[in-house]
Structure formats: structure tokens, C-alpha cells
Amino acid sequence: MKIVILMGSPNRKGSTAMLVGHFVNGATEAGHDCEVVDVCHMDIHPCTGCVRCGYEGPCVQKDDMQAVRAKLLQCDMVVFATPLYYYGMSAQLKMVVDRFCAFNSSLNSRRLKSALLTVAWNAADWTFDALTAHYKTLVRYIRLRDMGMVLGYGCGTTGMTRSSGYPEAAYRLGKGL
Ligand SMILES: Cc1cc2nc3c(=O)[nH]c(=O)nc-3n(C[C@H](O)[C@H](O)[C@H](O)COP(=O)(O)O)c2cc1C
């Protein structure tokens, strides 16, 4: 299976990256082909809402989203990886999700598998309520097939994350695919 990981943390060596690395190790060992797409360091701009795409067509913005779009339409699974920012996904990742607008129907018809990898400082039980509600809504709307979520409670620093069970959980999620 071809897996595209949308890496939504600007920290290349942070806690989100740690989960992504362990997920990739597991999935690669299971025979899958993983590509981490570092969306935070690409030239990707917010949707302008012009709808010249007609919700399915070329976007007027000729930026790196063209490459991300091609990758998503050729893969079997998409992984949303993000630190928790004000109880949602990072703006960098949300920008990519909003740009799905221009290939909404073709993305829908792919019936991609999906997963969520995320970390937060907070460890309260409600920490991920808003993010998981959003993710589950995307799964429903885009007709994704959710394969699992790793919700890293109390992962405020790489030290906290390393000593938690979440890297192992990400590895197992990848390995079990
Ligand atoms: C802009 C910003 C917003 C954040 N918002 C939250 C939040 O709402 N809740 C929370 O628990 N942690 C929040 N955090 C903490 C991060 O989610 C946490 O430190 C995470 O481990 C960072 O991941 P990274 O190492 O991949 O950057 C925030 C951090 C930043 C920089």
C-alpha cells in the first residue's frame, strides 16, 4: 500500500515527527511504501475561496499543492500528523485540507484509508475532543476509512513523548496495517 503522511508540524525533530518516524518504521516493516510530505516547509497557500475550480478542477494557485494533490490521488492511505494547536490541527495542515476543495470529488471516490497522529501538552481527557470530532467528520465527508488514531496526551516536549507509550503505539498502528 502507498501511504502519504501529511506532516503538519513545523518542527522536523519534534514530537509529531517522532510519532511519524515510528509509524513509518512499522508500516515499512509491514511492507508498505511510505512518503512523508513536509507540508509546513512547502510553498502552499490558503484557499482563497474563489471556487474557480468548481470544487473539482484545476486550482488557480500554482503552488506546491499541485504536487500534494497528485500524491493524494495516487496513494491508498493518508495520515494526518499534527501537533495540537489551540485544540485543533495546525494551520499548516488545515491549509492543505482546505485545498482539498479543488479535488473534492476525486478524493472522495478514492476511498482512501486514513489515520491521525497527534500530540499535545495537555493530558486532560477532553484534550483531543475537538480535533477527533473534526477528523471523524472529515473521514465521514471524504469517505475515508479510518485505520486508527494515536492521541499523544501529555506530549509537550520530545522528552515527554519519548518516555510515553505513544511512539510505540504509532509503530504498532503502522505495523498492523
Ligand atoms: C501555537 C501552539 C499552540 C498549542 N496549542 C496547544 C493546545 O491547544 N493544547 C495543548 O495541549 N497543547 C498545545 N500546544 C503544545 C503542543 O501541542 C505540544 O508541545 C506538541 O508536543 C508540539 O509538537 P511538535 O514537537 O511536533 O511541535 C501548542 C503549541 C503551540 C506552539
How many domains is the chain partitioned into structurally?
A: 1
- Supply the pLDDT for residue 8: 98
Percentage, residues of the chain above pLDDT 90: 100
Coil vs helix vs strand at 20: helix
Nearest to 173 by CA among 150, 154, 151, 155: 150
Asked whether the beta carbons of 80 and 8 are under 8 A apart, the reply is yes
Q: pLDDT grade, residue 89 (50/70/90)?
A: very high
Q: What would the pLDDT profile of 29-74 be if each residue is shown by its tens digit?
A: 999 999 999 999 999 999 999 999 999 999 999 999 999 999 999 9
Nearest-CA residue for ligand 1 atom 22 is 83
Domain at 45, CATH number: 3.40.50.360
- Residues with Cβ within 6 A of ligand 1? 9, 11, 14-16, 83-87, 119-122, 127, 155-156
The domain of 66 spans 2-175
Mean predicted lDDT score pLDDT of the chain: 98
